[in-house]
Amino acid sequence: MRSLLVAVALALNLGTPVMATKEPPFTVEFKHGEFEVRDYPPLVVAEVSVTGDRKDAAGNGFRLLASYIFGGNTRRQKIAMTAPVIQSPVGETIAMTSPVVQTGGNGTWAIRFIMPCGSTLETLPLPNNPRVKLHSLAAARVAVVRFSGLARQDDVAARTLALSRFVVAQHLRAVGSPSLAQYDPPWTPWFIRRNEMMIPVAPAAGTK
């Protein structure tokens, strides 16, 4: 995956780590220590489902999605890469009375690239690979905890547990699976890497 991420940066003329690319806009609804609750607008994503352990699935999914934005589409069009790359287990539910952790195992994972701001299903080229799907995501509220490091499985599990407890403590209701968001290429020093665990939560009563 390292060589592919290097190729992404060069092919897209980024010249800087992925963390310097554009990110989807959001507003911070609430912040408490290392935790945030954010509101994201509607987004369009390219997504692929991959089986295997978390690390292998991330690499395989990244390759499929990178092919699409490199020009593996009906217009041979290059699409700007945005951050983060998001990975979440497919079909996993979260029981807030007993916080779950993201274990992955040999399950199925959804890997997502967020399309550039202003993209729509109508304006984006269709992927050549039928495994790559384009989706519109509705506006969402998300509980987030940020952490540095290599995002090893123990780190992911610990941060997922902490974020799940935060959701419970704040009387929020989880409405989806935990996701791992990664913002940096692998040559970024481990101590300044930006990773985030995210859990979608229901908006407060009386809000949209």
**Are the beta carbons of 86 and 48 closer than 8 angstroms?**
no
Q: Provide the CATH number for the domain around residue 90.
A: 3.20.80.10
Asked if residue 49 is part of any domain, the answer here is yes
Q: Is residue 206 part of a domain?
A: no
Question: Cα–Cα distance between 173 and 29 in angstroms, integer?
Answer: 15
Determine the Cα–Cα distance for residues 86 and 182; give it in Å rounded to an integer: 7
**Sign for the pseudo-dihedral over CA of 89, 54, 50, 84:** positive
Alpha helix stretches (DSSP H) within the chain? 2-11, 54-69, 153-169
Residue 208 lies in a domain: no
Determine, yes or no, domain membership for 54: yes
The total number of structural domains in the chain stands at: 1
Q: Are 143 and 35 in contact (CB under 8 A)?
A: yes
Answer whether residue 207 is part of any domain: no
Domain-located, residue 59: yes
Evaluate whether residue 157 is within a structural domain. Answer: yes
Q: What is the pLDDT along the chain (208 residues), one digit of tens a residue?
A: 444 443 443 333 333 333 346 899 999 999 999 999 999 999 999 999 999 888 888 889 999 999 999 999 999 999 998 899 999 988 654 443 333 333 344 588 999 999 998 999 999 999 999 999 999 999 999 999 999 999 998 999 999 999 999 999 999 999 998 999 999 877 789 899 999 999 999 986 655 5
Q: Look at residue 207 in the predicted model and tell me its pLDDT.
A: 56
Domain span including residue 166 = 2-201
Q: How many Cβ atoms sit within 10 Å of the Cβ of residue 48?
A: 23
pLDDT (0 to 100) of residue 22: 84
Whole-structure pTM over 0.85, yes or no?
no
Question: What confidence score (pLDDT) does residue 81 get?
Answer: 85
* Residue 164 maps to a domain: yes
